[in-house]
Amino acid sequence: MSVIDEVIKITSTNGHRCVVVDDEVELLGLFRRMLEKVGFEVYVTDDGAQAVKEHVCAPFDLAIIDWKMPKMHGYDVMVAMDEAPQELPKMVVMTGNSDSLSVPVPVDAFLFKPFTSEELFAAVARAFGKDVG
């Protein structure tokens, strides 16, 4: 089964609300198109605080969070989501380097920039416990 097929299977069985938080606004549209294509309802924002507010109102199943952002660091977004009364979504952390990160909550997958669509879908599949290599 291809990685894309695995992700489509995930969205049909494990919920499908996803938030992408990244300060690179031009990437947000790309994320939206790719993730909607495989069945996610996608909320994109460059504002971590807004992502947390949206999670409190309507919890996400998956959060893809850029680690280094100017307004609210990815670490702080993760802490705020963890402190919310809603269940913590599956977490994918994006970073531009592979240095070790001190993360405040369990991370289900990492996505290293720059990435391909195949790497994005593989990270999403890993976040939901799929072994995709």
Across the chain, which has 133 residues, the per-10-residue mean pLDDT values are 80 83 93 94 96 96 93 91 92 81 81 92 92 73
CA distances from 2 to 8, 9, 12 (A): 10, 11, 16
Looking at residue 130, what is its pLDDT?
Answer: 84
Measured CA to CA, the distance from residue 81 to residue 79 in angstroms comes to 6
Residue 121 CB partners (closer than 8 Å, separation 6+): 3, 4, 6, 7, 34, 38
The CATH number given to whatever domain includes residue 96 is 3.40.50.2300
Q: Is residue 21 part of a domain?
A: yes
Please give the tally of structural domains in the chain.
Answer: 1
For the entire predicted model, the pTM comes to 0.91
Looking at residue 14, what is its pLDDT?
Answer: 65
Looking at residue 58, what is its pLDDT?
Answer: 94
Q: Is residue 132 part of a domain?
A: no
Looking at residue 15, what is its pLDDT?
Answer: 64
Q: Is residue 133 part of a domain?
A: no
Q: Is residue 40 part of a domain?
A: yes
Looking at residue 100, what is its pLDDT?
Answer: 61
Looking at residue 70, what is its pLDDT?
Answer: 87
Looking at residue 98, what is its pLDDT?
Answer: 63
Q: Is residue 70 part of a domain?
A: yes
Domain of residue 92: give its range: 3-127
Q: Is residue 119 part of a domain?
A: yes
Measured CA to CA, the distance from residue 7 to residue 58 in angstroms comes to 21
